[in-house]
Amino acid sequence: MKVYLSIIIPAYNAALTIEDLLGSIRKSRKVDLREVEVVVVDDRSIDNMEEVFYNSYKRYKNYKYYKLTKNSGPARARNEGVRQAKGEVVLFLDSDVKLFPHTLRELISSFKKDPDLFATTGVWDKKQKSKHFFPKFKALRDWSYWIHDRDQRGYYFLFSTRIAAIRKDLFVRLGGFNTSYKAALVEDIELTYRIARRYAVIFNPKLKVSHEFEDFLPIARKYFWRSFYWSRLYATRRKFDPVATTSQEAITTVSAVAVVGMGIISLSQISLIRQIGLIGIVGFFALHLFGVRKFLYYCLKEEGLGFAAKSLLVGFVLYLVIFAGAFYSLVSLKE
């Protein structure tokens, strides 16, 4: 049978997660797996991922494993995967996710039914195995971005490579991912902009994967550098996005910084300046609350008042991190 869908998985030191992902593909329901191939591209891992793969999946002809000659980043790994792919449609998955049983059926059906569907993306599930606060916070934050906060007027959505699919011929015509990005930063966003010049990236909430999030510091680091590189894209494009990096999120970020700034002003020994600072704190904090109101209400419904209050505080800190990344990007551009 002819391969219709090629699943591309860039992987680096993913021995602990890759088997769960590959297993979830085989457990997909109502899918003829003979028309699906899986292409794992090893970005020169130093763990035993290759051994894990061959121990479990060597016997399956439609599971393929390629190893890059040197560590080059997920952008190049994905491009190499597409070069090896035989399918009409390519699906990109991160190596640390798991498919829901219905996801592949929904994806294949969507492309076969609609010849005008060129690219689509899905969402991380909101549930976490971890009982710790931050992974649950991050899962709810991302879910809220995509389900509640996104700009409904947007004709395209971010080609988010946790789970995103595109017709292979279009991907090749666009030149693939920009390999100048050596880490998983904004290579997916940059490709989104090239797709969106002529085609829509359709968001389908039925395309779901599960993912266990990291704790605060690794995520904060990613936020900083993603903000840094996205700000450079914005500097040339001058447009916000319909999800996550929206104009509303920019206002919410600036309002958090303004609260801190007004807090410093309120420490002044001069009465008038101190009063201006206090009024500013109230005003900008109200603006910030307005910006995160949907997310906080969602946290309240899902996890209760205490979780929502803590989410406000942690989210506030992350907005400061995002601003720091953008500010550093702006300063470094002028040097």
Residues 65 and 158 in one domain: yes
pLDDT for 330 beyond 80? yes
Q: How far from chain centre, in Å, is Cα 190?
A: 13
Do 73 and 200 belong to one domain?
yes
The pLDDT score that the predictor gives to residue 335 is 59
Quick one: how far is CA 186 from the chain centroid?
A: 9
In which band, very low, low, confident or very high, does the pLDDT at 334 lie, cut at 50, 70 and 90? low
Task: Give the span between the Cα atoms of 161 and 141, in whole angstroms.
Answer: 18
Per-residue pLDDT at 124 exceeds 80: yes
The pLDDT tens digits of the residues spanning 151-189 come to 766 667 899 999 999 999 999 999 999 999 888 889 999
Percent of the chain with pLDDT over 90: 87
CA angle 121–111–40, rounded 5-degree value: 60
Q: Residue 56 — pLDDT band, cuts 50, 70, 90?
A: confident
Residues whose CB falls within 8 Å of the CB of residue 107, separated by 6 or more in sequence, listed in order: 5, 89, 91, 120, 165, 204, 207
In a domain, 196, yes or no: yes
What local confidence, expressed as pLDDT, does residue 323 receive? 98
Sign of CA dihedral 125, 129, 134, 137: positive
Is 241 a member of any domain? Answer: no
65: left (phi over 0), alpha (psi -120 to 50) or beta: beta
In a domain, 242, yes or no: no
Token representation of residue 168: 């292979």
The total of other beta-carbon atoms located within 10 Å of residue 115's CB is 8
Q: Is residue 279 part of a domain?
A: yes
Q: What is the mean pLDDT of residues 41-51?
A: 95
- 228, 287: one domain: no
Residue-wise pLDDT for 271-321, tens only, equals 999 999 999 999 999 999 999 999 999 999 999 999 999 999 999 999 999
pLDDT in tens, 10-32: 999 999 999 999 999 999 999 99
- Considering the domain architecture, whether residues 219 and 146 belong to the same structural domain is answered as yes
Asked whether the beta carbons of 12 and 44 are under 8 A apart, the reply is yes
Sign of CA dihedral 259, 261, 266, 267: positive
Could you tell me if 167 and 228 lie in one domain? yes
Q: What is the rounded distance in angstroms from the CA atom of residue 1 to the CA atom of residue 32? A: 10
Where among 236, 257, 277 does a domain terminate? 236
Return phi, psi of residue 255, to 5°: -65, -35
Residue 59's pLDDT is what?
86
Among the candidates 236, 262, 289, a domain finishes at 236
211: domain CATH number? 3.90.550.10
* Alpha-carbon span 318 to 84, nearest angstrom: 39
> Per-residue pLDDT averaged across 106-118, rounded?
97
Per the structure, the complete domain to which residue 261 belongs is given by 247-334
Decide if pLDDT at 135 tops 90.
yes
User: How much is the pTM?
Assistant: 0.93
For 211, the token pair is 């993912």
| 272 and 166 co-located in one domain | no
Please indicate, yes or no, if residue 174 is contained in any of the structural domains.
Answer: yes
